[in-house]
Amino acid sequence: MKMKRSIRINARGKQLNKFINAIHQRRIDCRGQYCRGEVFYCDIYRRDLKEVRDIAVNCGIELKAAEYDSLFARLFRYRRRIGLLVGVLLALTAALYFSQVVVTIEIEGNSVVSDDTILSALLELNIKAGTPICRIDIPYCENRLRLMIDDVAWAGIRHTGSRLVVQVTEVEHVPEMVHDRVPCNIVASCDAEISSVLVRSGQLKHIVGDFVPKGTILISGVAENSFGRSFVHHAMGDIRGIYEENISFSAPFRSEETVPTGRSDTQRILKLFSLDIPLYFGSSGYKSSTSEMTEKNVFIFGRELPLGIRHRIVSETAVTEKEYTEEELTAKLMERVYLYENNFLGNDTAILSRDITTQKTDDTLTLSVAYRLEGSICEQRDIFIK
């Protein structure tokens, strides 16, 4: 696309030579001029068009002109469109502004230290989205960041345009010493019937099928040699057994619960860097409510800008008294039973049987669960030597 405004003219008439000589005498810049038949063709600048038209009138020449597409021609056509011009100016201003401030912060090299910890330290150093890059003392901030976070051995900060990159090297901690040489016995953690044994170190005291009360030594860390001398060492192994466990869950038939009323209000918030600008007036006026926040940011060329709209949906709630039937309350308690099994019984613990009994009073329902389980019954107990 051409930058300057250029005009293509066609001149036709009997005094064509006079017209051409007049143009040359007035030193009008003509480019690509040639004659074909009785027509003269050339390119001139837009500023010379009025003078060329006057010469054509004086010479009795029929003149046709057509403007080439150029940047200045387009700007001239859109000169009366104020909104477009304002939009272009705002876009240029925004591009200039965003090129001088921190838009995104990227953190590299961290595995132990979380991004939130590093961002919080940067915030104390007044480094956040929207901070002018010229105000950041990079050497000072690198040293301060290393001193503020114990697990950071080295920190480097660089910026590419509006993108700030923080590179860290974490402290390599010495592995914690595992005290696997401390003399100890393996004892039963509960009353159980032994179902399987695996001894890695020590002397087995009971075999499969034996019933052992809680605290019984399963693998001994004390041994004697042929001379009657005693030695102690660290007993290791895995003893599994079958044992019982009882637990109960209770809930009332009537309880106060917070439920939604069906009324809601949507609030919009303009996010500009670290500022939240409300785009609404007043408040929802709900005495009790829950809220859910969604955010949609602006992307330019695949880059996320610290500019967007947050939608907060505020739902009104009310405290009501709810009465459960026996079937509904039983289902609710069974959910607690399943949560207990998933969260508190280990993955290596097998449920052999489950016996559930129900106890009902005037205002409470209780589920008593008797488990028959198979799992590890090992518990390490140190040997203290005088």
| Residue in the block written with tokens 């063709």 | 41
Give the Cβ contact number of residue 189 at 10 Å.
Answer: 18
Task: Report, as an integer, the average pLDDT of 68-96.
Answer: 70
With a cut of 60, say whether residue 3 has pLDDT above it: no
384 vs 235: CA distance, rounded Å: 14
Q: What is the pLDDT of residue 73?
A: 64
For residue range 28-73, what is the model confidence (pLDDT) as tens digits? 888 888 888 888 889 888 888 888 888 888 888 888 888 777 666 6
- What count of Cα atoms within 13 Å lies in the side-chain half-sphere of residue 354? 13
With a cut of 80, say whether residue 86 has pLDDT above it: no
Residue 343 — φ and ψ, nearest 5°? -100, -30
Q: Which of 83-92, 136-145, 332-341 is predicted least confidently?
A: 83-92
Measure Cα distances from 163 to 51, 138, 143 in Å.
Answer: 53, 14, 20
Residue 270 — φ and ψ, nearest 5°? -85, 120
For residue range 284-336, what is the model confidence (pLDDT) as tens digits? 888 888 889 888 888 877 777 778 898 989 999 998 888 899 999 999 999 99
Task: Report, as an integer, the average pLDDT of 246-259.
Answer: 91
263 vs 90, residue with greater confidence:
263
For residue range 4-28, what is the model confidence (pLDDT) as tens digits? 678 888 888 888 888 888 888 888 8
Q: What is the pLDDT of residue 1?
A: 45
pLDDT > 70: percent of the chain: 92
Of 376, 379, 370, nearest in space to 245 by CA: 370
Give the Cβ contact number of residue 156 at 10 Å.
Answer: 15
Q: What is the pLDDT of residue 46?
A: 83
Measure Cα distances from 375 to 96, 184, 218, 243, 336 in Å.
Answer: 67, 21, 15, 8, 22
Contact 251, 333 (CB under 8 A): yes
178 vs 227, residue with greater confidence:
227
34 vs 98, residue with greater confidence:
34
Q: How confident is the model at residue 232 (pLDDT cuts 50, 70, 90)?
A: confident
For residue range 126-182, what is the model confidence (pLDDT) as tens digits? 898 888 888 899 999 999 999 999 889 999 999 888 889 999 999 887 766 665 678
With b for 16 or more beta-carbon neighbours within 10 A and e for fewer, the 36-57 pattern comes to: eeeebebebebebbeebeebbe
For residue range 182-196, what is the model confidence (pLDDT) as tens digits? 889 999 999 999 999
Q: What is the pLDDT of residue 6?
A: 83
Distance of CA 372 to the CA centre of its chain: 44
With a cut of 70, say whether residue 81 has pLDDT above it: no
Q: What is the pLDDT of residue 80?
A: 65
Q: What is the pLDDT of residue 72?
A: 63
